[in-house]
Structure 1
Amino acid sequence: MIDLLIKKCVKDRENTGSLKVRAKVGKVLGYVGIVLSTLLFVVKFLIGMLVNSISIQADAINNLTDAGSNIVSILSFRLAEKPADQGHPYGHERTELITSMLVGIAIAILGFETAKDSVHRIFHPEAIDFKWSAVIVLVLSILVKLWMYLYNTRYGRKYDSTLLLANAMDSKSDTIGTFGVLLATLLSPVLHFQLDGYMGLIVSGIIFYSAYDLLRDVMSALLGQAPDSKMIHTLSNEILECPVVISVHDVLIHSYGPNQNYATAHAVVDGRLSLIDVHSHIDQVERRIKEKTGINVSIHVDPVLLDDRQTQQYHAIFDEMIDALGNHQWEIHDFRIDPHKDHVDVFFDLVVPYAETRSEEELTRLVRDHVKCPGPVQLFIEIDHPIGF
């Protein structure tokens, strides 16, 4: 049914990289979610009142919250498809992440409210008026929510939508929660013990974990998580295909949404080459990467003197020293020297692991204290961390 609906409403549905297509799919699924969640709320809340079950009523309110989340999702997709403007040059795709965070907060609030009502029911138990109609409604609710979880997951992965995947997680927690309510409804009359409050408390714990899981992923993306290693290698290999590039390092990817990715990289080239020729080659590489991957990349050129004996001599000295000081875990990038009459200026980036606890000042002082060069040197060190390729 969902596939037919998407096929009818979204003509260019196979263009998964299109922001407009993703927004259309998200809005269609959002409208479906509103209808289903509202129907579940009405039916389950009435049944919950009929049988005097706090867990069924809480589960119904959960579905009403889902309908509200879907309304927010639709508004989010509308905002996310807006083109870049002067105030937001990187587009509006991160609106999805912000909305996903709001969905996670809503789930957490629901878990708290469910826990509060469940604790009250534990200390003040009330008999549930068992009816098979309640069981049937709960079973149907589980099937509907499971279906919503499956199609949101499938389309969320297909269109790389954090918001659809967030809705899928919400549906998953609903499925688990409703199943717990169903067990309490069936077992309480058999055991002659009111499980309603206890099961509600267990369900609230499951809901809390779902909120934590979702918020953890969203916050990681908002804070700036490590780039995908496959994409790093793809970009590095594309740059290395350039005939003037010797090596690549410091590849960074900044993501502002699935279709708004920017990258920077350092490319080592022979310093004797013409600046115009190097720029022409690098410009071609940047355009080729944009055409192949859709990523806007800016490549910084690091010129090196390949056959300069003095540079090679100093490079070897510092390589050996850094390797010993860092226990084979440190590296040097962008090494160059600038000889003067009375001393030599030495420039390089010192790459140390993230686990290194010493400050930049301490590391710089350590290197200065162990310098053993043929003559006076002045060091210019930039402390860096391993990134990318």
Structure 2
Amino acid sequence: MVNKDLKKGEKGAWLSIGTYIFLASIKLLVGYTAGSSALSADGLNNLTDVVASVAVLIGIKIAQKPADENHKYGHSRAETIASLLAGIIIFTVGLQVIISSVQLFFNPILTKPNILAAFIGLFSAVVMFFVYRFNKKLSKQIGSKALYSAAQDNRADALVSLGTVVGITGAYFGIVWLDPVTAAIVGIIICLTAWGILKDTVYELTDGFEANELEKIEETISKTPGVEFVKDIKGRLSGNQPLIDATIFVDPSLTINESHEITEEIEKRLLSLHNIKQAHIHIEPF
């Protein structure tokens, strides 16, 4: 069964891919004709971002596949893998920006670029900011971590374009040090963005789960009629889907049917209160 929410997420990934190809084409063309190496480099950076967006798109598509014989929990973690790849690419781009800024600081380009390059950079920054807002909003609506990573990449590219504008403007007016300093700041921001994505994805891949959220889930289970005591509870994430395993104590005089009804009530409450669709409840006599 196709996840309709994740299907919506494909629109955001396609928007990123189309926008990056469009902006890269303009930047490379104008960068060459206007004599701006900074704008050309920004265009090449956007071509790299196409790869990250394609990885996100593939991750979202795979995550929609239903559970099968080899993936009993479904394919939701494909989104997490896509986020990990996107984070690595974003970090690499940020590192390249920092290295380039250091090289440019000691070997400044004295060629005066056409001011048109600065306007193209500003146009690109505005476009990417709106793409970022769209993907960020959509990612929260559908609970897609991969699309959220793509949105962070969009924001990073908007910042890179702004840094390009500052650098081109500085070169145009003869302030050569402005370009590398701004680029270094932008590079650090991009690396910090990537670190946030990588930290979250590694946390999920190592089956991390927020202790506060697990306490709330345990409280919901313990307050279910018929539950005497919650002996053990564990949680992990598969993409945007939490998976819960819990062991509960019930009255030993209950029939199998009566005990089963308690577990069904627990599952209903977990779904309505915490949006948990998969829970394994083990029963033991109190």
TM-score range relative to shorter protein: 0.7 to 0.9
Match of 2:244 in 1: 263
TM-superposed deviation, 1:83: 1.0
Match of 1:314 in 2: none
TM-superposed deviation, 1:162: 0.4
Which residues in structure 2 correspond to 1:228-247 (within 5 Å)? 229-230=212-213, 232-234=215-217, 236-242=219-225, 244-247=226-229
- When residues 210 and 287 of structure 1 are mapped into structure 2, their CA distance, relative to the original with a 3 A threshold, is closer
User: What TM-score comes out, normalization by structure 2 length?
Assistant: 0.87
C-alpha separation in 2, matches of 1:120 and 1:291: 55
C-alpha separation in 2, matches of 1:207 and 1:291: 37
C-alpha separation in 2, matches of 1:157 and 1:247: 35
- Return the structure number with greater relative CO, CA threshold 8 A, min gap 6: 2
Q: Which has the larger radius of gyration?
A: 1
Equivalent residues, number: 284
**Where do 4+ consecutive residues of structure 1 move more than 4 Å?**
none
Is structure 2 residue 231 aligned with structure 1 residue 252? no
Match of 2:278 in 1: 296
Which residues in structure 2 correspond to 1:1-389 (within 5 Å)? 20-227=3-210, 229-230=212-213, 232-234=215-217, 236-242=219-225, 244-259=226-241, 261-271=242-252, 273-274=253-254, 276=256, 279-289=259-269, 292=272, 293-304=275-286
- When residues 192 and 33 of structure 1 are mapped into structure 2, their CA distance, relative to the original with a 3 A threshold, is closer
**Is 1:100–1:162's contact at 8 Å kept on the other side of the alignment?**
yes
More strand, by proportion: 1
More helix, by proportion: 2
Q: Deviations over 1:231-256 (max 9, x none)?
A: 652563245222x3223243222321
- When residues 192 and 154 of structure 1 are mapped into structure 2, their CA distance, relative to the original with a 3 A threshold, is closer
| Matched position secondary structure for 1:254 | strand
C-alpha separation in 1, matches of 2:231 and 2:117: 62
What is the aligned-residue RMSD (CA, Å)? 2.5
Gap runs ≥5 in structure 1: 1-17, 305-389
C-alpha separation in 2, matches of 1:164 and 1:208: 18
C-alpha separation in 2, matches of 1:277 and 1:85: 29
User: What TM-score comes out, normalization by structure 1 length?
Assistant: 0.66
**Is 1:23–1:81's contact at 8 Å kept on the other side of the alignment?**
yes
